[in-house]
Structure 1
Amino acid sequence: MSRAVSWVLTIALLLCLVIPGFIAFRVWHVARIDDRTPADAIVVLGAAQYNGVPTPVFQARLEHAALLYDEGVAPQIITVGGGQPGDLYTEAGSGRAYLTRLGVPPEAVLAVETGTNTEGSLDAVAQTVRDQGGHSVVLVSDPTHSYRSRMMARDAGLDAWTSPTRHGPAVWTRENQIMSIIRETGAVLWYQYHRIVGSDVDFPG
């Protein structure tokens, strides 16, 4: 094997190690950020619901969003997420109903019932916020989901920052958090690859 080929292989190997490592660090770092800068809207990223009842993961996000609303971070909460085939309820609609039960005024909650993944939902949110004359959002999701969702929101043209929930199944154990960082590292790599090649194929979630 020639020296040039060896150098190429060595550099390729280093890139395969360094790039995922850097992204994993960014996922971990942004997960620790709780930015409550006033914005035009608080956006709750959807999660599973069953017959209109949010799962514990989704409930944790919604409860955190209600707290931010009570603190005056934004005058509006936007819930997002469509439904799966055969569903009677959407993630956004279930989230809106749960927030009103928590005491958030119904007129302060807007359900954007579009999108089956983070990117599609945030594209719909960006259009909705712009239609209202706004441009800034605080994103509420699980900590390790914050980096990718912020990236997607900014790519959609929003001024976005994150305030992740600190309770619920997603943060119960160290093992959950580590596995989430690994999964999100793969999801970010997938998203960036398809941005480069111009593909519409999305990583689930």
Structure 2
Amino acid sequence: MKKVAVLLVILFFSVFLFRAMGSYLIVSSELEYANAIVVLSGGDESRMQEALNLYNQNYASLIILTETGDVVEGYDYLHSFDMRIELLNNGVPSGNILLTDQVATSTEEEAEAVKRLLTARQLISCIVVTDPYHSRRAYTIFRDTFADTGIKVMIRPTSHHWFTVNTWFLKVKGWHFAILEYLKYISYVLER
């Protein structure tokens, strides 16, 4: 009986710890109108859906896609082209869709490319959309990158995503992404 009680206590505290670990990775800004919604590359369709939802709720009139040079699997065209077509098919006018000017291979490079685009267009605010597990690191990188610009950065993790505070630790891929994200976040913080 004592072993069962100890196991239950360990289980309870483990779940509490795992939820805290997931919760730390997920950050979200209180949103207000912005000049642009920035959809970071990678992830799944949930990033595009979140951006479309924000656009349709009039949080911004522009959507910025970051160029990574990634090609759609099985096809011979860029993922950014596919995302642009999806936005057009969902009613976003062509003139309201912008693409960063450089191929980015990291979140830091995406932030720099977005900074150049916003600065060149004299825009003063953006909402960055990314996956929940990526939101803390993305927000930290964008905040640091934009620190000297006066441009306001808000972060929005996708609403309908498999990575949630209560369930991420029940999936192998949850552990994979959480550990990888913690390592990348710690590495970024130590290097800045």
Q: TM-score surpassing 0.5?
A: yes
User: 2:179 aligns to what?
Assistant: 182
User: 1:153 aligns to what?
Assistant: 142
- Distance in 2 between the 1:124 and 1:44 partners? 12
**Contact 1:42/1:69 (CA < 8 Å) preserved in 2?**
yes
- Distance in 1 between the 2:20 and 2:126 partners? 24
TM-score scaled by length of structure 1: 0.69
1:130 shift after superposition: 0.8
Matching residue within 28, 35, 42 for 2:30? 35
- Distance in 2 between the 1:25 and 1:156 partners? 27
Map 1:107-186 onto structure 2 (within 5 A): 107-112=95-100, 114-157=103-146, 158-170=151-163, 173-174=167-168, 175=171, 176-186=173-183
User: 2:54 aligns to what?
Assistant: 68
- Distance in 1 between the 2:44 and 2:95 partners? 21
Give SS of 1:163's match: strand
Name the aligned partner's letter for residue 126 of structure 2.
V
User: 1:101 aligns to what?
Assistant: 89
**Contact 2:71/2:77 (CA < 8 Å) preserved in 1?**
no
Map 1:3-18 onto structure 2 (within 5 A): none
Report the number of matched residues: 163
1:166 shift after superposition: 2.0
User: 2:41 aligns to what?
Assistant: 46
- Distance in 1 between the 2:129 and 2:180 partners? 18
- Distance in 2 between the 1:45 and 1:115 partners? 10
> 1:36–1:26: structure 2 CA closer, same or farther, 3 Å change rule?
farther
**Contact 1:27/1:147 (CA < 8 Å) preserved in 2?**
no
**Contact 1:82/1:114 (CA < 8 Å) preserved in 2?**
yes
**Contact 1:36/1:68 (CA < 8 Å) preserved in 2?**
no
Q: Deviations over 1:4-40 (max 9, x none)?
A: xxxxxxxxxxxxxxxxxxxx96872461525322111
Q: Which moved more, 1:80-89 or 1:123-132?
A: 80-89
1:182 shift after superposition: 2.4
Q: Deviations over 1:114-148 (max 9, x none)?
A: 21111111100111001111131111010111111
Unaligned runs of 5+ residues in structure 1 are 1-23, 48-56, 196-205
TM-score scaled by length of structure 2: 0.73
1:173 shift after superposition: 4.8
> 1:80–1:170: structure 2 CA closer, same or farther, 3 Å change rule?
farther
Q: CA RMSD in A?
A: 2.8
Give SS of 1:60's match: helix
- Distance in 2 between the 1:80 and 1:145 partners? 15
